[in-house]
Amino acid sequence: MSIPQTHLIAYPFPTSGHIIPLIDLTKNLITRNINVTVLLTPSNQHLLPPNYSPLLQTLVLPSPQFPNPNQNRLIATITFMHQHHYPIILQWARVHHLPPSAIISDFFLGWTHLLARDLDVPRLVFSPSGAFALSISFSLWRDLPQNDNPDDPNSVVSFPNLPNSPFYPWWQISHLFRDKKVEQDWEMMRTMFLFNLDAWGVVFNSFIDLEPAYFDHIKKELGHERVWAVGPVLPLDSGTEPEERGEASTVSCLELTTWLDKREDRSVVYVCFGSRTFLTTAEMDVLTSALELSGVHFILSVRVPDERRVEEDCGKISSGFIERVRERGFVIQGWASQLVILGHRAVGAFLTHCGWNSVLEGLVSGVVMLTWPMGADQYTNAKLLVDQLGVAVQAAEGDEKIPEINDLVKVIKGSLGRTKERVRAEELRDAALGAIKENGSSQKQLDALVKELNELKND
């Protein structure tokens, strides 16, 4: 076999929810003979399996530092990466034995548009969110929709130029856009997102049949067809043990599956708010009370606060709760093997914060989703799931709309029946799995992407 010459730099934003799907994508690319170098920081190196393939290499870059504790952490991370990673990558690429053919970078790293220009290669945006969410983002930062009454958090912001004309209360709009206290930071973020509109191409961890109107919209916005929907990029048939993906779980897969094996089909509700969300005390109290009163079997996964969170309101699970629900509740404090849990026949519903990775994992598992978005793209994702796809039921919205305990009990109990949402969930599961099968739409899109990348090398 000839040595592959196409060399892609893959540059994720350094949090697990952004790194893991981009690594999953690179694994798909190397099966198609593409060389990939993933840019990681020391604390994230473990997310890439060692010696996975000679075609998959790593460049380790300095971990972001935060000298100003008052600066928004995301903005501080982007600023550090721009200032400190840029010259290292530039120098590395210029001396590498196989010069890069293109760079694919996270949508938070818009400044890599300038890096790609200096390297004289095209830049692709990797969107760990769906096409609906990125459509909102593009419109937000380019068109700057106005809130006529910014003192009213319920003042409505609309997006009439998008399919289905979505609208949101002001408090659900990205805090990065709403917060103009530091004008320089706001302008920097706008510049980052506008650079994404100038990218050579965009790759989505999504599939065409999930949000077709928004893929058409994105192509129209960009003015070209170089938009690829290649997801869900999940290791479903790759032989990868799901527990090897991401962080180390605090509970073994064997322990989880042994517990789940004793439950009836679709009788368990799985509750998880992702790798970055902490529930407040009020939210945790409502959630645990509803789970206890519902009488259903459940798995509850919650984050454990670290020393940086000592001054924040992070709700804790009482030991009394764990004792009282021991016969029907399984509590995980730390990282959970989510694909293992959702893929088990006993799990019928998923109470989720609607992060895009969780959305896709819920979809491929065919479970009914109960939405409790907390921020970022999650309100958009929840609207897609509930209003447009009909696969989910709204449970709550952030800490602005915490449900009454009895209302949440009703939603939890109702999620395990044979509802219209369950029928739709099974339809979308089949569509998602069909997209990533041989000759499925996502496989064809991936082949088309690889063809374009290989042609770049030959130009």
CATH of the domain at 73: 3.40.50.2000
Residue 226 lies in a domain: yes
Do the bridges between strand 268-272 and strand 227-229 make them parallel or antiparallel, or are there none, so unpaired? unpaired
| Residue 373, SS3 per DSSP | coil
Which of the 8 DSSP states describes residue 305? P
Asked whether residue 394 is assigned to any structural domain, the reply reads: yes
Sign of CA dihedral 249, 254, 258, 264: positive
Give the model's pLDDT for residue 401: 85
Domain assignment present for 364: yes
Contact 166, 136 (CB under 8 A): yes
- Which range of residues forms the domain containing residue 264? 242-433
Q: Nearest 10 degrees: CA dihedral of 154, 160, 166, 167?
A: 0
Q: Say whether both 189 and 209 belong to one domain.
A: yes
Q: Can you give the pLDDT at residue 247?
A: 61
- One domain for residues 38 and 178: yes
Write the CB contacts of 448 (distance below 8 Å, at least 6 apart in sequence): 228
- Residue 163 falls inside a structural domain: yes
Number of domains, the chain: 2
Pair (170, 281) in one structural domain: no
How confident is the model at residue 66, as a pLDDT? 86
Burial class (CB in 10 A: 0-12, 13-18, 19+), 240: middle
Shared domain check, 364 and 294? yes
Prediction pTM value: 0.92
Residues 200, 148: one domain? Answer: yes
Q: Match 């650079």 to its residue by tokens.
A: 195
Q: Would residue 80 count as lying in a domain?
A: yes
Same domain, 147 and 274: no
Query: Can you read off the two tokens belonging to residue 378?
Result: 């999650």
Q: Check if the beta carbon of residue 165 is closer than 8 Å to that of residue 158.
A: yes
Alpha-carbon torsion angle 36, 39, 45, 50, nearest 10? 20
Name the 3-class secondary structure at 278. Answer: coil
| Of 358, 347, 417, residue with least CA distance to 385 | 358
Say whether both 146 and 252 belong to one domain.
no
Go through 208-233 and write b for each residue having 16 or more CB atoms within 10 A of its CB, e for each that does not: bbbbeebbebbeebbeeebbbbbbbb
Residue 129 lies in a domain: yes
- 3-class state of residue 301 by DSSP: strand
Whether residue 39 is found in the same domain as residue 165: yes
Residue 209 vs residues 62, 214, 335, 436, 453: alpha-carbon distances, Å? 39, 10, 31, 12, 24
CA distance 86 to 9: 13
- For 38, the token pair is 């993933």
Q: Which residues lie closer than 8 Å to 69 by C-beta, 6 or more apart?
A: none
Burial bucket for residue 83 (CB in 10 Å: 0-12, 13-18, 19+) = exposed
What is the SS3 assignment for 389? coil
Which residues have CB under 8 Å from 220's CB, separation 6+? none
Q: Which residues are catalytic?
A: 18, 106
Measured between alpha carbons, how far is 229 from 443 in angstroms, rounded to an integer? 9
Q: Which amino acid is at 435?
A: A
Give the pLDDT of residue 246: 57
Q: Is 41 in contact with 58 (CB distance < 8 Å)?
A: no
Other residues' Cβ atoms within 10 Å of the Cβ of residue 311 = 6
Specify whether 144 is located in the same domain as 266.
no
Same domain, 195 and 304: no
For residues 211 and 131, membership in a common domain is answered with yes
pLDDT in tens, the chain (459 residues): 455 589 999 999 999 899 999 999 999 999 999 999 999 999 999 898 888 899 999 999 999 998 788 788 899 999 999 999 999 999 999 999 899 999 999 999 999 999 999 999 999 999 999 999 999 999 999 999 888 787 888 899 999 999 999 999 999 999 889 888 788 999 999 999 999 999 999 999 999 999 999 999 999 999 999 999 999 998 765 444 444 455 667 788 889 999 999 999 999 999 999 877 788 888 999 999 999 999 999 999 987 766 555 456 777 888 888 889 988 999 998 878 899 999 999 999 999 999 999 999 999 999 999 999 998 899 999 999 999 999 999 999 988 889 999 999 999 999 998 899 999 999 999 999 999 999 999 999 999 999 999 998 655
My answer on whether 92 and 163 are in the same domain is yes
Spatial strand order of the sheet with 35-40 comes to 56-60, 35-40, 7-11, 102-106, 123-127, 201-204, 227-229
Written as one letter, the residue type at 56 is L
Residue 1 lies in a domain: no
| Domain assignment of residue 2, yes or no | no
